[in-house]
Amino acid sequence: MFRRTILTSSLTLAALLAQPKTDAPKPGIATATKEARPAGLPKDATEVEPGLWKHTDASGKTWMFRRTPFGVSKYPASAADESAANDEKEAAMLKAIDAGDSVKFERKMPFGVTKWTRRKTELKGAEAIAWKKASANQTNAAPAASEQKTAQPAAKTAAAAK
């Protein structure tokens, strides 16, 4: 019995090794191809950003399509407007600090301050809004500070003249 098992195993192994190897795909097996537009996406949908498309249907309603690991997700564009409003609320809680080609962010959380850094080219959503507000405040604060410095010497000379 043992000899028969060894003999059968060795013959099977020899037969497998003797078969020629082919690199061409078999005709019954489909090869995976990366397609630019996922299935289920309307043909006239326009790409807003990578993985996000916008489409207006025949009734005039605007829909957003997002690529997910499970396929394409469809939701009304009004939900996208709500996420923009949420970004505004979150941006109000962020503190943005310029760090050259990147921005440092701080946010107060229940257990302390959370800090992170993001490149200026990678800012999206609430981070982009917070950075825009912080940079606008910095440019507005710089002229105001120089005006105060010039106003102080004039006030001192007026007080000295009395």
Domain final position from 80, 103, 132: 80
Condensed to tens digits (0 to 9), the pLDDT of residues 44-98 reads 898 988 888 999 988 888 899 999 999 888 988 887 677 777 888 888 888 999 9
Please report, in angstroms and rounded to a whole number, the separation of the first and last CA atoms in the chain.
123
Q: What per-residue confidence (pLDDT) applies to 158?
A: 55
In a domain, 19, yes or no: no
Q: What per-residue confidence (pLDDT) applies to 35?
A: 52
Range of the domain at 53: 42-80
- How much is the mean pLDDT over the chain? 78
In a domain, 22, yes or no: no
140/107 same-domain check: yes
7-21, 88-102, 103-117: range with lowest mean pLDDT: 7-21
Q: How many CB atoms lie within 10 A of CB 16?
A: 8
DSSP characters for 18-48? Answer: HSPP--SPPTTSPPP---SS-TT--TTPEEE
107/133 same-domain check: yes
Question: Is the pLDDT confidence value at 24 over 80?
Answer: no
Q: What per-residue confidence (pLDDT) applies to 104?
A: 93
Q: What per-residue confidence (pLDDT) applies to 110?
A: 93
118/74 same-domain check: no
